[in-house]
Amino acid sequence: MLLYTSELFLNYMFGSLKSTGNCHHGTRIMDKDSTDVNQDLTKLKTKIQETREKILAMPEIESSPGEQQEQLRFMREQVDTKTQLLKKYKGLCVFDSPK
């Protein structure tokens, strides 16, 4: 289950940009005429495209955060119910292992 927020996306993008050295918070400063700039821009474009593809591939990305919260609540209720049933049935009979 994914709880997608713009903050999560921005944190991911900042990390991606920082790792390539193209973020204004990064430590590398480049000359505009440098060939490294073109290479780094190409790397950045590739990372942005990969990020877009990852976002589109995320499950439940089309659901709103509220819908995702409701699904998560429902699934947690199911887990609680099933846990209670397991405890109940485990106490009712002994499961012998074959020898």
From first to last of the 99 residues of the chain, give the pLDDT tens digit: 445 566 666 667 667 666 655 445 444 555 555 778 888 889 999 999 999 888 888 877 778 889 989 999 999 999 999 999 998 888 776 656 665
Determine the Cα–Cα distance for residues 90 and 43; give it in Å rounded to an integer. Answer: 56
The enclosing H or E element of 74 equals helix 65-92
What is the rounded distance in angstroms from the CA atom of residue 68 to the CA atom of residue 75? 10
Is the model's pTM score more than 0.75?
no
Unique residue bearing structure tokens 């950045």: 44
